[in-house]
């Protein structure tokens, strides 16, 4: 076999693998776009049922076409405090089951029906070219992705197809057969998967080799050891992702590793002494001469499914045990590092699914909204008590708001570069304005503390009637806030009519207060020096109501 022949085989393998991985990435991105609403809804579920968690994990993985995608997302949600370790463990187990679908798809790549799947690339391109619908375009990209996946598999299969009597076959077959030790094969599976950070890629290589008639190790169970190793190796992605994250995020990544490690140990204990497992079980279901579909490839796909389903069924009753072990192996950080902040760290891991990341940011923005209005309440109540000491607390709150605002804007910029559906693009745009409105509410609270200072320092006097009307006006403002917050968080347009009604009432109260103040000035019943504080105070409350209303109307 000449050097040029070797180079050709290597280049075809790399080219086929590259096409396959691009197809998988393209498929994952577009499946996520198609299912963005469902994906966000499923990951936001907080059901305590471990069975529901497994189902959610499997479904999200099928949509994202990667267990690493789901696991890293889970680490991000745990880090953000959105998901508990108990929920994360069940979802991780489900993710391992969901990823087994990829092995079955890859197994088809070694069959005679591959040529029909290659046509999907053209079908998908035509769907994308001739449709104006965003969903149809995404669906077309999904269809085209399958074409790329099977093209990559076909290319790799072609590179590994040799005549049995050829020199090339002797060299490649001899190299593959030389590695017979089960634990070395296991380590190879771990190492290669950790290096490429994709168990699907490793499965594709193994399945393509087997489908091409090449024998790994001593045959029998040998290929299965590499598959087991790939399940451990895929944990590296989540472990790396958890670096620098919270203790709970590290624990979630550790649980993913333990689940696959314990499962691998269990299967190695069974397979190493039972050398005839493949012949006695897998080949009985899918014989080597299986009609049309490739029997050896289907055997590997079946084992991959068996491995993950059996492990999930065995370990699901011990979810709390996994959480207990992880909690004891990864100690809590110091309280100073774990103290709660207004705005939870916006985890870049969630950007793997822009809709989920945006949903998390949206909820955190709602918290900022509440915090700003609470700050305004503090300042207004301090005014009624003539309490100037509240100014320090309001200033500290506004510093927190400013820090949270910087984080949110930075995250919005990252989201803007992601592949967003039109609906999410509009939401990203509207959140920029919402964040500005929230900051304005905080600034208005700061203004009120300044009026309180003049109230006290200048010995101003306000009648009980005036203070009562200010209280009534602010009560309506709080009602406006409650309705606006619900409208914003749940994107419920039915609340907008009530929002507008309350905002009009606050406008009327401001006009009435100012008209009464002018009348009292003309009658000599009010000190002229009160005017600056009086008019600015009611004006600021009316402006706060405007910003609250804008936030409600941001839902479009």
More confident position, 433 or 334: 433
**CA separation for the pair 266, 273 (Å, rounded):** 12
Task: Note whether 346 and 80 are within 8 A (CB).
Answer: yes
Query: Minimum mean pLDDT among 72-86, 195-209, 386-400: which range?
Result: 72-86
Task: Note whether 213 and 271 are within 8 A (CB).
Answer: no
Task: Note whether 210 and 223 are within 8 A (CB).
Answer: yes
pLDDT tens for each residue of 1-24: 566 767 887 888 888 888 888 887
Phi and psi torsions of 432, nearest 5°: -60, -45
Residue 242 tokens, joined: 């958890």
Residue 43 tokens, joined: 């990951």
The pLDDT-based confidence of 113 (bands split at 50, 70, 90) is low
Residue 445 tokens, joined: 């609270």
Is the confidence at residue 46, as pLDDT, over 60? no
**CA separation for the pair 396, 402 (Å, rounded):** 10
Residue 243, Ramachandran bin (φ over 0: left; ψ between -120 and 50: alpha; else beta): beta
pLDDT tens for each residue of 499-556: 999 999 999 999 988 888 788 777 665 666 677 788 889 999 999 999 999 999 999 7
More confident position, 132 or 36: 132
pLDDT value at residue 335: 44
User: Which of 515, 500, 505 is closest to 541 using CA atoms?
Assistant: 505
Residue 294 tokens, joined: 């490739």
Q: ∠ CA(57), CA(60), CA(66), 5° rounding?
A: 95
Residue 386, Ramachandran bin (φ over 0: left; ψ between -120 and 50: alpha; else beta): left
Percent of the chain at pLDDT > 90 equals: 37
The most distant pair of C-alpha atoms in the chain lies apart, rounded to whole Å, by: 114
Task: Note whether 197 and 274 are within 8 A (CB).
Answer: no
pLDDT tens for each residue of 464-474: 777 888 889 99
pLDDT value at residue 261: 95
Is the confidence at residue 40, as pLDDT, over 90? no
pLDDT value at residue 38: 67
Is the confidence at residue 366, as pLDDT, over 50? yes
Is the confidence at residue 31, as pLDDT, over 80? no
> How many CA atoms within 13 Å lie on the side-chain side of 165?
0
Using CB atoms within 10 Å of the CB of residue 171, give its burial: 0 to 12 exposed, 13 to 18 middle, 19+ buried: middle
More confident position, 487 or 71: 487
Task: Note whether 448 and 376 are within 8 A (CB).
Answer: yes
pLDDT value at residue 524: 63
More confident position, 159 or 231: 231
User: Which of 74, 51, 78, 53 is closest to 64 using CA atoms?
Assistant: 74
The pLDDT-based confidence of 323 (bands split at 50, 70, 90) is very high
pLDDT tens for each residue of 193-238: 888 877 888 888 888 888 878 888 888 899 999 999 999 998 888 8
Q: ∠ CA(492), CA(493), CA(496), 5° rounding?
A: 115
Using CB atoms within 10 Å of the CB of residue 381, give its burial: 0 to 12 exposed, 13 to 18 middle, 19+ buried: middle
Residue 28 tokens, joined: 């994952």
Is the confidence at residue 137, as pLDDT, over 60? yes
99-128 average pLDDT score: 79
Task: Note whether 362 and 303 are within 8 A (CB).
Answer: no
pLDDT value at residue 336: 42
Per-residue burial over 31-60, b if 16 or more Cβ lie within 10 Å, else e, is bbbbbbeebbebbeeeeeebebbbbbbbbb
- All domains of the chain in start order, with CATH: 3-329 (no CATH), 348-553 (1.20.58.220)
Sign of the Cα torsion 543, 549, 553, 555 reads positive
Task: Note whether 455 and 529 are within 8 A (CB).
Answer: no
Is the confidence at residue 340, as pLDDT, over 60? no
337-344 average pLDDT score: 51
Average pLDDT, the chain: 84
Is the confidence at residue 305, as pLDDT, over 60? yes
Is the confidence at residue 280, as pLDDT, over 60? yes
Say how many C-beta atoms besides its own lie within 10 A of residue 114's C-beta. 17
DSSP code of 348?
Answer: G
535, containing H or E segment: helix 531-553
Can you count the helices (H) and strands (E) in the chain?
25, 0
83-94 average pLDDT score: 87
pLDDT value at residue 166: 67
Query: Minimum mean pLDDT among 355-364, 451-460, 525-534: which range?
Result: 525-534
């Amino acid at each position: 076999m000449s050097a040029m022949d070797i180079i050709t085989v290597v280049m075809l393998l790399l080219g086929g693998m590259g096409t396959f991985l691009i197809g998988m990435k393209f498929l994952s991105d577009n499946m996520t776009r198609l299912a963005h609403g469902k994906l966000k809804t499923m990951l936001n579920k907080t059901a305590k049922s471990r069975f529901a968690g497994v189902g959610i994990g499997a479904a999200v993985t099928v949509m994202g076409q990667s267990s690493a995608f789901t696991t890293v997302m889970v680490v991000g949600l745990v880090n953000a405090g959105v998901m508990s370790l108990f929920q994360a463990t069940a979802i991780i187990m489900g993710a391992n089951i969901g990823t087994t679908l990829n092995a079955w798809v890859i197994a088809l790549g070694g069959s005679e029906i591959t040529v029909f799947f290659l046509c999907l690339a053209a079908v998908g391109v035509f769907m994308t070219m001739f449709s104006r619908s965003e969903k149809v375009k995404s669906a077309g990209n999904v269809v085209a992705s399958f074409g790329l996946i099977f093209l990559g598999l076909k290319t790799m299969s072609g590179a590994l197809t040799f005549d049995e009597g050829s020199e090339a076959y002797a060299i490649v077959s001899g190299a593959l057969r030389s590695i017979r030790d089960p634990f070395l094969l296991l380590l190879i599976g771990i190492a290669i998967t950790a290096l490429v950070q994709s168990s699907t890629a490793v499965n594709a290589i193994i399945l393509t080799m087997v489908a091409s008639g090449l024998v790994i190790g001593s045959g029998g169970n040998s290929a299965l050891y590499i598959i087991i190793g790939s399940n451990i190796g895929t944990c590296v992605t989540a472990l790396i992702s958890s670096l620098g994250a919270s203790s709970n995020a590290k624990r979630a990544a550790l649980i993913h590793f333990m689940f696959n490690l314990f499962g691998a140990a269990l299967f190695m204990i069974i397979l190493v002494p039972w050398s005839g497992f493949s012949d006695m079980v897998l080949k009985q279901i899918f014989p080597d001469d299986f009609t049309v579909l490739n029997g050896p490839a289907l055997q590997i796909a079946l084992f991959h499914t068996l491995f993950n389903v059996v492990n999930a069924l065995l370990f699901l009753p011990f979810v709390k045990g996994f959480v207990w072990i992880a909690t004891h192996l990864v100690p809590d950080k110091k309280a100073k590092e774990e103290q709660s902040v207004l705005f939870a760290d916006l985890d870049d891991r969630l950007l793997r699914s822009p809709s989920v990341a945006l949903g998390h940011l949206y909820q955190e923005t709602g918290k900022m909204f509440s915090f700003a209005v609470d700050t305004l309440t503090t300042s207004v109540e301090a005014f009624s008590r003539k309490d100037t000491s509240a100014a320090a607390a309001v200033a500290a709150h506004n510093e927190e708001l400013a820090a949270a605002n910087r984080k949110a804007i930075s995250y919005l910029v990252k989201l803007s570069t992601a592949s967003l559906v039109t609906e999410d693009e509009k939401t990203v745009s509207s959140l920029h304005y919402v964040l500005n409105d929230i900051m304005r509410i905080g600034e208005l609270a700061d203004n009120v503390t300044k009026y309180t200072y003049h109230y006290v320092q200048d010995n101003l006097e306000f009648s009980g009637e005036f203070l009562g009307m200010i209280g009534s006006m602010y009560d309506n403002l709080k009602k406006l806030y409650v309705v606006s917050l619900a409208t914003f968080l749940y994107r419920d347009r039915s609340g907008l009519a009530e929002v507008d009604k309350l905002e009009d009432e606050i406008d009327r109260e401001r006009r009435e207060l100012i008209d009464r103040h002018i009348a009292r000035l003309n009658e000599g019943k009010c000190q002229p020096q009160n005017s600056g504080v009086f008019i600015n105070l009611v004006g600021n409350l009316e402006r706060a109501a405007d910003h609250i209303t804008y936030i409600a109307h941001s839902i479009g």
